[in-house]
């Protein structure tokens, strides 16, 4: 998949919401026409490729059971066109 295809599948996080909320919104989206995959499935595969992680790792970031490292946060920030601190806020 080239960069143009990625942009067509991955919606930028222009609302500047945390990754957990972005992920949950994708879960609510339905399949596009006759596609065998959901928007969330497509996103997980692309995010996994961009970060070098397994799609399960991306899910764990959304669920809060694991945290991405700095390089993974940077890759996700670039993919979603959003600041990493917004996507993954540190809890006090």
Instruction: Give pLDDT tens digits for 5-54.
Output: 555 578 888 899 999 999 999 988 877 677 788 889 999 999 999 999 99
We report the CATH number of the domain holding residue 80 as: 1.10.260.40
pLDDT of residue 25: 93
The DSSP line for 39-89 is HHHHHHHHHHHHHTS-HHHHHHHHHTSS---HHHHHHHHHHHTS-HHHHSP
Q: How many domains does the chain have?
A: 1
How much is the pTM? 0.83
On whether residue 57 sits in a domain, the answer given is yes
pLDDT of residue 35: 75
pLDDT of residue 78: 96
pLDDT of residue 20: 95
- Kindly indicate the confidence band of residue 1, based on its pLDDT and cuts at 50, 70 and 90: low
The whole-angstrom separation of Cα 68 and Cα 82 is 15
On whether residue 92 sits in a domain, the answer given is no
3-class state of residue 24 by DSSP: helix
- Token pair 């979603």 is at which residue? 80
pLDDT of residue 36: 83
């Amino acid at each position: 998949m080239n960069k143009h295809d990625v942009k067509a599948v991955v919606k930028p996080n222009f609302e500047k919401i945390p990754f957990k909320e972005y992920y949950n919104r994708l879960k609510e989206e339905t399949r596009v026409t006759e596609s065998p995959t959901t928007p969330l499935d497509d996103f997980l595969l692309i995010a996994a490729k961009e970060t070098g992680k397994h799609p399960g790792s991306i899910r764990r970031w959304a669920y809060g059971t694991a945290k991405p490292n700095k390089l993974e946060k940077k890759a996700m920030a670039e993919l979603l066109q959003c600041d990493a601190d917004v996507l993954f806020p540190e809890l006090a």
